[in-house]
A and B are shown apart, each in its own frame.
Chain A
Amino acid sequence: MTELFRMTAADIAAAVRDGEVSAAEVTDAHLARIEQVEPKVRAFLHVAADQARAAARAVDRRRAAGEELGPLAGVPLALKDVFTTLDMPTTCGSAILGDWLPPYDATITRRLREAGVVILGKTNMDEFAMGSSTENSAFGPSHNPWDLDRVPGGSSGGSSAAVAAYEAPLGIGTDTGGSIRQPGAVCGVVGVKPTYGGNSRYGVVAFASSLDTPGPLARTVLDAALLHEVMSGHDPCDATSIDAPVPPVVAAARQADVSGMTIGVVPEFTGEGTQPGVLARFSEAVELLESLGAKVTEVSCPHFSYALPAYYLIAPSECSSNLARFDAMRYGLRVGDDGTRSAEEVMALTRAQGFGAEVKRRIMLGTYALSSGYYDAYYGKAQQVRTLIIKDFEAAFERVDVLISPTTPTTAFPLGERVDDPMAMYLADLFTIPSDMAGNAALSVPCGLAPEDGLPVGLQVMAPVLADDRMYRVGAAVEAALDARRGYPLLNDARGLA
């Protein structure tokens, strides 16, 4: 039998269901793997070994009692530290939350527990999900298992690194401008941003509420789909949650067939400025899809080029408003409360000390964009651009079933390279932002290694709102064909932990 920590979520769940292995053994194997590689990867901010073992034993007891187990019962998972958890700290990668222990579980946390998923701990992230490298974490960066001197992407880089390093078969992240797909792409794993509103944000600490979307990370498309169905669905506690059936993503991942589909290539995202090896792998993916029976055509989306500037007005504006809640009064850090200072002074001192550089930049940028006198020229205009991006998608999806592009313009970049160059960092999300702005579904699936650096490249598949299943069909077909051609899973080539 394969080492337990190398098994897929689907195989673990089946083995637990069939009594071939206990959930407790599976959890122990992953905790041992974490102990072994975590000093190099640093994917977790908090490992909850006791709670994980207790959750695993509960699954084993339910099985022994003859209960029907769900599709992911007994499967370990790495949860981004932006989801509230009753029994584990929730820091959002920020010093301002201190050792906050949330008084309630996020809806997604609760759904995972009810499904018998074993939460191994909370993963590192860029502070309040703002960044593309985890370098904005107050607790230091995580490292890419392909090359420990490179970033694992961000903001959900702790979860993507944990999955790529075989510390957990499943991870959960949140995507606001690409924060699931980009770390997925640069770590060589699958990252999914479901349709906006498909997943509850109750108990997810807010960054930009009109964009934030929780979603799965996994080593296979099927595993991502299984998690997608467990975590998704309407939640009355989140007013933006869509009251509609979850798209049949597991069936689509099993179908893994693109014959008869029409696929659009976005020419705006395959031009200059993209790393040659990324473009080479993307072109091969296009040929592969044609050979699998899809019709591929070019579909121009002229306003996608303006998505990045519009995003960096809209997201910081919402962030400046959302992060006003960190006022040092009810929870978290409080600095300078010596009896002489006013509440406002304490607030300003706490926020200056508790927030890192990128969060401060974005709060100030948002405050600027929303200022009277600038509002129409910046925030107002960005909202109009958002409408034009949605119209580009609508026009495209009248002609094609899905759109494709590279997920990121480059492979994983070296730690430290972009830390003090915000615009360079922002460019990592160039191709992922449009789907956040329009709220449609998108995923990243590995499509090989860039020849010049041997690092993974992601193929992005974008589907219409609530048609998430279409991108799983495409992702699973690409994965199956590439795995068959290679003869082994892509992650076997990851040499950072060799």
Chain B
Amino acid sequence: MPIVRDDVAHLARLSRLALADDELDHLAAQLDVIIAAVARVQEVTAEGIPPTSHAVPLVNVFREDTPVPCLDRETVLSQAPAVEEHQFRVPRILAED
């Protein structure tokens, strides 16, 4: 099933990317080629083969519960795009009605 412009627009919304129309067209053609190429994995017989998410099997890695100093607030906020009353200022997150 080819990737069309509407699919790309949907993916862009999910990815929080406000893409321009010409970008959507360009990406549709490219993603179609890439997805056709990566679909080759479906040729592999993998019946009963467990998936690997991570090459080194590690579970439940803990370190000693030792208190250490954390970054101070001013250092962290110094890199913020906008600050108000010693906090990150962000645009509204709820719709007004």
Contacts and interface: CB of A to CB of B under 8 A. Distances in A.
Q: How large is the interface on B (under 10, 10 to 19, 20 to 34, 35 or more residues)?
A: 35 or more
B5 to A, nearest CB: 12
Interface string A345-367: 11111011001000011011101
A170 interface: no
B4 interface: no
Interface in B5-40: 7-8, 11-12, 14-20, 23, 27, 30-31, 33-35, 37-40
A132 B78 CA distance: 34
A377 B36 CA distance: 12
B41 A351 contact: no
A309 B39 contact: yes
A210 B15 contact: no
A378 B19 CA distance: 25
Contacts, number: 179
Interface stretch (A7-15, A98-106, A252-260): A98-106
B49 A239 contact: no
A103 B75 contact: yes
Interface residues of A, number: 70
Nearest to A438: B55
B55 A437 contact: yes
B71 A352 contact: no
A348 B11 CA distance: 12
A496 interface: no
Nearest to B71: A103
A360 B17 contact: yes
A387 B43 CA distance: 15
B52 A383 contact: yes
A323 to B, nearest CB: 9
A343 B8 CA distance: 22
Contacts of B20: 352
Contacts of A306: 40-41, 43-44
Contact of B95 (A242, A342, A352): A342
Contacts of A345: 18, 91
B17 A384 contact: no
A348 B95 CA distance: 16
A236 B19 CA distance: 40
Contacts of A386: 51-52, 55
Contacts of B34: 312, 361, 365, 422-423
Interface in A202-245: 210, 236, 239-240, 242
A370 to B, nearest CB: 9
A56 to B, nearest CB: 27
Residue among A324, A343, A381, A422 with the most chain B CB within 10 A?
A381
A440 B55 CA distance: 8
Interface stretch (A330-338, A395-403, A453-461, A475-483): A330-338
Nearest to A195: B56
A377 B42 contact: yes
Which 7 residue pairs are nearest across A and B when measured between Cβ atoms?
A439-B55, A383-B51, A334-B81, A384-B46, A348-B18, A239-B61, A386-B52
